Chains A and B, each alone.
Chain A
């Protein structure tokens, strides 16, 4: 197997005295989409925060393209080509829709994504581009959050619960756009509460339970029983 684009080695993470991740080993191949599932509080967001540099770890616990990055700051990780669509969208309220996208492109990596490409993917954003980002609907805000991450032309992008709180029709729209995004050769990590959705977009899946990997498998062969056991324990 070729060297994965991202690997975590016995990754631990803590908030003060509380340990949120224990010994997490995870791998993501070049161009692969991996799903991460797990109950509320399992540690999915903590894993995203660790990889993106928002939480500090020991350097070797996270390896990106053979390079230990666990101890880098988030802005340095972003420069290396790792993007995050954070849970709850988290747009910049003082910036317009277009400014949110432009600031996403600030790291200045080259690639297929530009303002024009984002507007082609989500035409509704172009109509609203001068509005404050907070004036958009939840689904449109999620489109901005996705576009903002893509603007950096990352090689690896992580989506943390992109369907949370959205109407089913909007969720479908966003998931329909996903193959076009990942098809550009990007690797992706998709965190998702909706297990069916998660399995349908990914080739492999990890399940977290109370900060530990409780299941690792191929998305088309794992069974419902395995998943529910991994979710809730015995």
Chain B
């Protein structure tokens, strides 16, 4: 029963990793941009939530109503003003610029909020649990997992059932030809980044509720996000969810064997999958 429980908890934790990763996966899929600042943007969202919560005295989950649109606007402006300029045949400029952005965000957070660890307190639901056939399932991890599935399902619908999604796929396939269809790729890229950071806002708030965070927390989240994306296969959204779950379950199993092995087990699972399936478990058919 301990093992079943470990796998279940790992699966739920995987939902959070999938939330970290979904925004990365989305922009990689649309514009082949590897956003090194993604983890720091998650932490930025958590701090924005903290500010909103302190100012208005509302519940962290309510702060989503403010933080999601703010992060979406940040994403749009960031892409149009900075990141679009770095995109081209050379993959190095976007990496360097987003790395620089990561450093800037960390320092700005340090200046504004100090290095003290913070948490978003969600009250009684943090300890509430559901009883599923003898297994205690934390209410919060369950909510995170369901949210992750819903968000990834929603992104999937946007991608495959809407005009915006068609534009995303078209620019991803062939930017030149997409422009011939009257698509302004700079605008479409900025919309993709807006969507990515809207998802990041949700990830940041769940992160803040689950664990404490400080301005330097971002890079570690970025690693989990990357691993989930790469395990699942670059650019595949359901693959990213699977990647998050595999990472979460590996960590839970590792921790079950020896509490010190939790993080290591996740990285080992990542390396093994990368060695066996270099393109991930569910790579997109093309490219």
Contacts and interface: CB of A to CB of B under 8 A. Distances in A.
B179 A94 contact: no
Contacts of B163: 106
A26 interface: no
A89 B173 CA distance: 13
Interface in A99-114: 99, 102-104, 106-107
Contacts of B285: 93
A95 B180 contact: no
Contacts of A215: none
Contacts of B262: none
Interface string A75-98: 100110001101000101111000
Given A54-B176, A74-B176, A92-B177, A79 B169 contact: no
A91 B146 CA distance: 37
Given A92-B170, A94-B286, A106 B183 contact: yes
A106 B169 CA distance: 14
Central interface residue in B178, B180, B284, by most chain A CB within 10 Å: B180
A52 interface: yes
A116 to B, nearest CB: 19
A71 to B, nearest CB: 15
B179 A75 contact: yes
Contact of B174 (A83, A92, A99, A148): A92
A75 B174 contact: no
Interface residues of A, number: 26
B181 A78 contact: yes
A38 interface: no
Interface in B230-274: none
A162 interface: no
Interface in A42-87: 52-54, 73-75, 78-79, 83-84, 86
Contact of A75 (B172, B173, B182, B286): B182
Given A54-B176, A92-B173, A92-B174, A152 B181 contact: yes
Contacts of A148: 181
A107 B178 CA distance: 12
A90 B174 contact: yes
Interface of B: 163, 166-167, 169-170, 172-174, 176-185, 284-286
Given A74-B179, A93-B285, A94-B284, 16 more contacts: A75-B180, A75-B183, A75-B184, A78-B179, A84-B180, A90-B174, A92-B178, A93-B286, A94-B172, A95-B170, A99-B166, A103-B167, A103-B170, A107-B181, A107-B182, A149-B180
